[in-house]
Amino acid sequence: MRLRLAGAVLLMAAAYYVYLPLPSGVSEPWKLMLLDALFRSFMQASDVAHALGMCHRIHLLNHVVSWVEEIEARSCPAVHVTDSTLGGVPTRVFQPKGGKQLKRGIIYFHGGGWALCSGRMRSYDLLCRKMAEDLDSVVMSVDYRLAPEAVFPEQYHDALAASRAFLSAQVLERYSIDPERVCVSGDSAGGNLAAAVAQELSSDDSLTVNFKVQALIYPVLQALDFYTSSYQQNRAVPILYRPVMARFWLQYLGADTSLEPLLLANNHSSLDQPAISSSTRSKLDWAALLPAERRKHFRPVVKETGSPGVMGEVPELMDVRAAPLLAEQGVLGRTPKAYVMTCEFDVLRDDGLMYVRRLQDAGVAVTSDHYEDGFHGCMVFAFLPMMSSVGQRSMNNYITWLDQNL
């Protein structure tokens, strides 16, 4: 009887920890709750280890991710898989066997807040294998350096170096890639890097080969407004919480994480910040850039006075290489045809939707692929054991778009 009672109490405690009120429209809420409980456990354990001085919180998280998710490069009947380097950056290469003599080419940047994850993770390995096989494409998944050891612009420089090497005649010839059918892509922080790289290289007239398309998966594109309508609507929706995104930004930019409350209050982008011009503010004015069905009842939060020292301490907040949404219209207009995936229950939803609008205004052909039941990171959960319906749908639609446009 005592064992049964103890078991019942433990079960109730576990259910209490796992349960989280979620919006009614989110896909398969219980799967998301379980996933969130797992992530929260790891995050809390890493915070404790960090507070005790045992290790940096990011190191513990990455150790767990490596232990659970990372797999060796193993070929299969349809795809040859090897670990190599691209522009000096570690890269996992997926080459389809057979098919056409000239292949499509895709360079992919994984997500993880510029601090976590790897192209060697099982979820990214499976995604790139499927892309290689379904698209008859050579896929190169780049392992750029991560925070806290590397901070901006080092991740960007790695992505740029790998992309330049990818587009080189030597690499294209070695892997039999059609120079007219090359793509840059990535998810979350990787989508940020893909967008920044596309902007930089599309403006480089010295290149003889450039990207035909860019495919951005729920990208993070700005850090000046943590009160967009999606940040307000989804502040308590897993798996990417509002404070976590602010911390990722500070870690990426090499700034003091004690600034997190100031960013979350929008004190860093108050009207008394002379570094932020009216032109810059217009580039992320979601009240003007988003349709009414996305703005809903939310209102902009703009402080009259804030913390004037923040922009001086972290000037990288205004760097377009870190925040591609802030690029000038002329730069955007030179970027390739775009695909932008966004999810309704994601704090980064409006970053992507504003970028869609700004690209369209610059004359770029854009496909906006929005998932009303989607959440941040859903596409990498297209495989077992955490397979989700919206993950499978989003992955299949992403690959279909590439098949039709690359």
Architecture of domain 26-405: 3-Layer(aba) Sandwich (3.40)
Give the residue among 247, 246, 216, 250 at the shortest CA–CA distance from 228. Answer: 246
Residue 231 CB: number of other CB atoms within 10 A?
24
Strand partners, 345: 375
pLDDT for 163: 98
Q: Please state, in angstroms and as integers, the Cα–Cα distance from residue 31 to each residue in 26, 117, 174, 347, 376, following that order.
A: 10, 21, 43, 19, 14
Contacts of 216 (CB under 8 A, 6+ apart): 185, 186, 191, 194, 195, 338, 339, 340, 341, 352, 355
**Among all chains, which residue has been given the structure tokens 């297209």?**
382
**Domain-wise residue ranges, the chain:** 26-405
pLDDT for 141-177, tens place per residue? 999 999 999 999 999 999 999 999 999 999 999 999 9
- For 364-392, what is the mean pLDDT? 94
**Cα separation, 119 vs 125, whole angstroms:** 6
Paired tokens of 267: 């004190």
Greater confidence (280 vs 5) lies with 280
Q: How many CA atoms lie within 13 A of 238 on its CB side?
A: 21
Q: What's the whole-number average pLDDT of the chain?
A: 93
- For 322-327, what is the mean pLDDT? 98
Give the residue among 19, 39, 56, 2 at the shortest CA–CA distance from 251. Answer: 56
Region at 107 (left for phi over 0; alpha for psi -120 to 50; beta for the rest) = beta
Give the residue among 68, 7, 9 at the shortest CA–CA distance from 38. Answer: 68
**Cα separation, 217 vs 233, whole angstroms:** 20
The pTM (predicted TM-score) of the whole model is 0.95
> Which residues participate in catalysis according to the annotation?
188, 346, 376
pLDDT class for 230, splitting at 50, 70, 90? Answer: very high
Contacts of 313 (CB under 8 A, 6+ apart): 255, 256, 259
pLDDT class for 4, splitting at 50, 70, 90? Answer: low
Greater confidence (40 vs 292) lies with 292
Q: Out of 3-7, 152-156, 195-199, 298-302, which region has the weakest mean confidence (pLDDT)?
A: 3-7
Return the percentage of the chain with pLDDT > 70, whole number. 96
pLDDT for 16: 47
pLDDT for 3: 57
pLDDT for 2: 57
Provide the edge-to-edge strand list for the sheet that holds 366-375: 79-86, 89-96, 137-142, 103-109, 177-187, 213-217, 337-345, 366-375
Q: Out of 24-38, 48-62, 93-107, 143-157, which region has the weakest mean confidence (pLDDT)?
A: 48-62
